[in-house]
Amino acid sequence: MEQDNQFPLVTVITPAYNRASFLDETVNSILSQDYPNIEYIVLDDGSKDNTQEVMAKYRDRVIFESHPNMGETRTVNKGFGMAHGEIVCVVNSDDPLLSGAIRAGVEALQSNPDALVAYPDWNEIGPDSSLIRCMQLPDYDIESMLTTFNVGMGPGVFIRRSTIERFGVRDPQFNYVGDLEFWFRLALHGRLAHIPRALATHRMHPGAASVTDQGAKMADELVRMVQKIYSFDEIPPRVQRIRRHVLSNAHFVATFYCGDDRKARNRHLFWYFWYDPWKLVVTLFGAPYWMLHRALSRVKKKLMKPHGSM
């Protein structure tokens, strides 16, 4: 492991929890990269499967540690503290990197010296690693992220270690949206460089965190995350002016994570309308108008049918 200008040391951190069946593929996707200066840290977050047995054969090429379960956010933060690299990348245990990813990430940061991170497009894959679709991401900034909540950052993001030292690690108060809060916080403080090329993957399977972690707690965290972002003095005036609109949308998005918890969903719907009452007007009067319009259209079609038609 060396630090040099041409090939700065890149630390890859993989938090692992009961993903032994996918771990070989992910570890090999890092070790087979064409970049010559990599430090690889795999942290087992108290897995109950055979993660330790899988990792035994990589002990000479990977820094591996196991600890009692403490969640992804704290595990990733532990990795940040262990990292020696000038550039850091978090790769989940079931989401292998694509060929050439690390070299491309380093080149993107070298070409964009003002960027805090560089994030790529990525492929959504199935349990058998088959391609489902390619996610082509937009150029994100804090305003677009807050107004749309359509934030696909995560897989294959390359972070300057100086960024972590300056703006902090993932916030441990967020168990479900810790990574999302981290990206929003960084977007608030600087530029995010987009690499318009698929370099990473996100695997969809029944045990994936994005599938299993949905619930009222995750919904509440989403709203608290937005409230935290608005507590920073660095919020641009144009973004501050749309605060109620953003909070309204946050509560609306939160309703989709509530599952069968009707009480939680209704609570978020209340705040959705409270922060933007105009939406209540549209809902109360717009929906009946739309229903009436459809009914009249059906009547009109019947009246205009040719004679003898059924």
Write the CA distances from 133 to 121, 130, 202, integer angstroms: 11, 9, 10
What pLDDT score was predicted for residue 150?
Answer: 81
Amino acid, single-letter form, for residue 288: P
Average pLDDT over residues 251-273: 91
Please provide the average confidence, as pLDDT, over all residues in the chain.
88
Contact present, 16 and 50 (Cβ < 8 Å) = no
* Contact yes or no for 151/140 (Cβ under 8 A): yes
pLDDT for 302 beyond 60: no
Residue 285: is its pLDDT beyond 80?
no
Q: What stretches of the chain show up as alpha helix (H) in DSSP? A: 20-31, 51-56, 72-82, 101-111, 142-148, 161-167, 178-189, 209-212, 216-229, 237-240, 243-255, 262-275, 277-281, 287-303
Q: Are 76 and 15 in contact (CB under 8 A)?
A: yes
Q: Would you place residue 300 in the very low, low, confident or very high pLDDT band (cuts 50, 70, 90)? A: very low
- Match 């703006």 to its residue by tokens: 167
- Number of neighbours of residue 215 by Cβ within 10 angstroms: 16
Q: What is the pLDDT of residue 308?
A: 40
Domains and CATH numbers, the chain: 10-212 (3.90.550.10), 214-305 (no CATH)
* Among 4, 10, 7, 5, residue whose Cα is nearest residue 160: 10
Question: Residue 129: CB partners within 8 Å, gap ≥ 6?
Answer: 25, 96, 201, 203
pLDDT score of 259: 83
pLDDT for 128-181, tens place per residue? 999 999 999 999 999 999 988 888 999 999 999 999 999 999 999 998 899 999
pLDDT the model gives residue 212: 46
Q: What average pLDDT does the segment 265-271 reach?
A: 93
pLDDT above 60 for 294: no
Per residue in 216-231, pLDDT (tens digit) is 899 999 999 999 999 9
Taking only the tens place, the pLDDT of each residue in 22-34 is 999 999 999 999 9
pTM reported for the whole predicted model? 0.85
- Res 39 pLDDT > 90: yes
